Structure 1
Amino acid sequence: MEKMNIVFLLFPNLTQLDFTGPLQVLSRLPGAQVSLAAKTMEPVPTDAVLTLNPTHDFQSCPGADLLCVPGGFGIDDAMQDEETIAFVRRQAEGARYVSSVCTGAFILGAAGLLQGKKATTHWAYHDELKRVGAEPVKARVVRDGNLFTGGGVTAGIDFAFTLMAEIAGEEHARAIQLGLEYDPAPPFDAGVPDKASPGVLESQRERYAPRVAAFREALGCALKQS
């Protein structure tokens, strides 16, 4: 296959698995060349101790064939940052595929890239997709044209295999799945609201409530700037 330049957006306090899950899969695409783009070349902190070293800043990053935007609590600041949003718009213009994982969808939304598009995100933020002009779809992976969005965190792995099958064919995706021994068998069937017990669901809604409230305020500010 021809070269595939995959650009991941990095920003402080992103959820590392939103990034590292898709990275592990997509870096095995034939011809993959991965660029990790951040506002500066300083190490980028994540939500789980790990720090990430950018390969490029926004000015030096090559154009993306595939743009991938992870999520995380850091989206509150990222989607209000003019340089970040300008970079995303610029990269999306020439990309064959534009994509996000989890709440990274709202960075795409703040850049005006979800208008009239079907999309998904983390369950706690799902209804907020309407505020960026998207049509929320409750699914682990959603495709609308060249736009691919993944649900919360671990959905990024399924999302990456969906993209791999689209780009390199299902047979190659199956081979990489075997190589990574991706055969999920969680000990509990409680990974989405419809499957969680009422007590577990309520505890998580309470945990996310202040976080979602802060996000809504940040999203309002981001949309005023756009």
Structure 2
Amino acid sequence: MAFNIVFPLFPGVTQLDFTGTAQMLTYVPDVQLCVVSENAEPVQTDCGFSILPEFSFDNCPPADMICIPGGPGVFEAINHQPLIDFVARHCQGATYITSVCTGAFILGAAGMLEGKRATTHWGYTGALKVCGAEFTEGRVVVDGNLITAGGVTSGIDFSLTVIAEVWGETLARSIQLRMEYNPHPPFKGGHPSTAGAEILSEVQPFYDKALAKVLGALAKRQESS
């Protein structure tokens, strides 16, 4: 039987959170990638183009693994109850519960981070405690069956970690080679620890505002629950 990996999408999702992860996982034998939106209608990504899911919330197969991508749409998605209910329902039966980037806050809204070690995009780590999680340094953090990843491109590292965890390191390494995942960025700077003060000072104000928006969305959810 196929191993179902469910990707719930929402308006404003960061496409690479989803597509980078899905591209690696699609090479695992006997895996079915179940891309789902509320009504199986196209979902506009943060890049402007849309993705057409195959499933709706009503007909999506049960998840063996659920993977929640992030993106600017998370600010609204945190309080979209049909999405949160769908995630909570599929998490109950899933063997693995996972997220990339700010997708962690959708898991948090569904009550899946309480008492867990987790990570998210560096600009949002300060909000994890609101979800009951303990922020843990790492591009990918594994706590039992919960696996969370940092920002955007870490979804590729995440997928290889998941493949090694579930199907073995040999398969993970073969997929890494097949995809020529051998990153050599032209300069350091993908994390505050390496970006340098000048670049960080330019970028930080954006994430200060974004963090406030996540905290506001989480507070709104707590008030309504």
TM range, smaller chain: over 0.9
The Cα offsets for residues 168-222 of structure 1, whole Å up to 9 and x where unpaired, read as 1100111010000000100111111111110111111112222222222112112
- For normalisation by structure 2, the TM-score amounts to 0.97
Is 1:192 aligned to residue 191 of structure 2? yes
Asked if the contact 1:5/1:63 (under 8 Å) is kept, the reply is yes
In the alignment, the residues of structure 2 paired with residue 62 and residue 223 of structure 1 have an alpha-carbon distance, to the nearest angstrom, of: 30
Alignment of 1:55-134 (within 5 A): 55-134=54-133
d(CA) in 2 for partners of 1:210 and 1:57? 33
Deviation of 1:225 (Å): 3.2
Matched residue type, 2:18: F
User: Which segments of 5 or more consecutive residues in structure 2 lack a partner in the other structure?
Assistant: none
| Number of the residue aligned with 1:180 | 179
Query: Matches of 1:206 and 1:127 in 2, distance apart?
Result: 14
Structure 1 stretch displaced more, 212-221 or 192-201 = 212-221
The 5 Å alignment of 1:14-53 reads: 14-53=13-52
Q: Which amino acid aligns with 2:53?
A: P
Normalising by structure 1, we get a TM-score of 0.97
Could you report, residue by residue, the CA deviation over 1:137-180 in whole angstroms, capped at 9, with x for unpaired residues? 11100000000000000000000000001111100111010000
Aligned AA for 1:21? G
Within 2, Cα distance between the matches of 1:107 and 1:175?
32
**1:41-71 deviations in Å (ceiling 9; x for gaps):** 2210000122110111101101000100000
Structure 1: any 5+ residue segments left out of the alignment?
none
C-alpha distance in structure 2 between counterparts of 1:161 and 1:129, whole Å: 24
Secondary structure of the equivalent of 2:85? helix
- The CA RMSD measured in Å over matched residues stands at 1.0
CA-CA distance at 1:79 after TM superposition: 1.0
